[in-house]
Amino acid sequence: MESSIKAVKRKYIYTPVQILALGFAIVIFVGAILLSLPIASQSGKITPFIDCIFTSTSAVCVTGLVTLDTGTYWTYFGKTVIMLLIEIGGLGFMSITTLVFLILGKRITLKGRLIMQEAMNANSLQGLVKMAKYILIFTFSVEAVGAVLFSTQFIPQFGLAKGIYYSIFHAVSAFCNAGFDLMGNFSSVTAYANNSVIILTISALIVIGGLGFYVWAEVYNSKGLKKLSLHSKVVIYTTLVLIVGGAILMYIFEMNNPYTMQGMSFKGKFLSSIFASVSPRTAGFNSIPLDKMTMAGKFLTIILMFIGGSPGSTAGGIKTTTAVLLFMTVVSVVRGRDDTEISKKRISKDIVYKAVVITILSLLLVITVTMILSITEQQDIPFEYFLYEATSAFATVGLTLGLTTKLTFVGKIVISLTMYAGRVGLLTIILALAKTKNSKSGTIKYPEGKILIG
């Protein structure tokens, strides 16, 4: 009898990966309940639960897609709940749990460290608590600086109390790459297209949050760029190439567009080009009307959204390192190399395979969601709207061409699940696959088969 009870208990022991996924789901559900309370809405009425789930998922998954205007629909209670959900989602609920444990003076158990290892995508258990402390200090410090810079613009415009609140909210939203704003009427920061302080501060916070905590820790502790690891070098150089290259292309595509940049000064065009290059990876703010962009500009935005930020950061997408691995694998094959090589270093085939799997799974998810939306939503909506929305949800960006507010009940569920999958699911799948190797499967060698390709 005792042995059967033990077997049942053992059967229901959750792995760290499962706890991580379940933890995000619980935070989303609790957030939805809080947002559904009458005190959370300006009307004082209960908000439809599907919209609460959608908003909570978007906040926890640091996406920024909303069916209800954040600035005008929610009270300060609701806005504060959203801000806290963004912070929890951006840092990861295990980092917040670590903060609570540190405040209470309690020790982190081995199981807690294992969950932290999965959440941070770390290679070992060593130094995890120290890294969690660094993440928390770094995050709050950067957000504080961002809030101070924002306050120089928002306090004169909105007054002391409201200006400080707006500064803190947008600093948290920008650093966590969430894309939520309080400007109202789904306008994002289009009213500040020529404001250097607002645009450049948001851009800087997005880039800092998107580079990853490990990269910043290494930059802080190293004595120069040459001393950095290959990972940090790839992340930094790829980010610079995407920002500069994206800005140049965006300027070319939109400079003569009468609906976006044509009427702007050179300063406005410069700021808008930089912002349109930075924001899709993966923040969700916009300073020009997205639905008025040229088709080339929209397609470039989709590409930038799909790539996203870097591993171990607040950003989504397939990640910069994955994109570089795929590109360098192609280069290595063309050169006749047996292995993928980056900066005179050989990359393990296991890592390359994971990069391929991540990309294929991501493409399949975006294609599937696009197809579902094209069936469930209004048939007179252009196809690129569905692809744009699906990519934005998967990459946890938050940019939209206006489809989000028109989503049907089924569409809201599909996009909510996509945001969750983009933030948690695909990573969980890859981690689960990485843990399934065993000695038996590794010893089996099947006969070699031949398949024609190309």
Place of tokens 């306008």: 187
Residue 233 and residue 137: Cα distance in Å, rounded? Answer: 24
One-letter amino acid for residue 32 of the chain = A
Predicted pLDDT at 62? 87
Please state, in angstroms and as integers, the Cα–Cα distance from residue 450 to each residue in 334, 339, 453, 454, following that order.
Answer: 21, 20, 10, 13
Residue 82 and residue 65: Cα distance in Å, rounded? Answer: 12
pLDDT truncated to tens, each residue of the chain (454 aa)?
A: 445 444 444 454 556 666 667 778 888 999 999 999 999 999 999 999 999 999 999 999 889 899 999 999 999 999 999 999 998 888 765 455 555 555 555 565 545 555 555 555 555 555 556 666 777 888 889 999 999 999 999 999 999 999 999 999 999 999 988 889 999 889 899 899 899 999 999 999 999 988 877 788 788 777 666 778 888 889 999 999 999 999 999 999 999 999 999 989 999 999 999 999 999 987 889 999 999 999 999 999 999 999 998 887 778 889 999 999 999 999 998 988 888 888 888 988 888 988 998 899 999 999 999 999 999 998 889 999 999 999 999 999 999 999 999 999 999 999 999 999 888 756 565 554 454 444 445 567 778 777 777 6
Place of tokens 């640091």: 62
Residue 283 and residue 189: Cα distance in Å, rounded? Answer: 12
DSSP letter, residue 192: G
Handedness of CA 124, 95, 29, 415 (dihedral sign): negative
H helices of 121-195, where? Answer: 128-158, 160-175
Centre a 10 Å sphere on the Cβ of residue 33 and count the other Cβ atoms it contains: 15
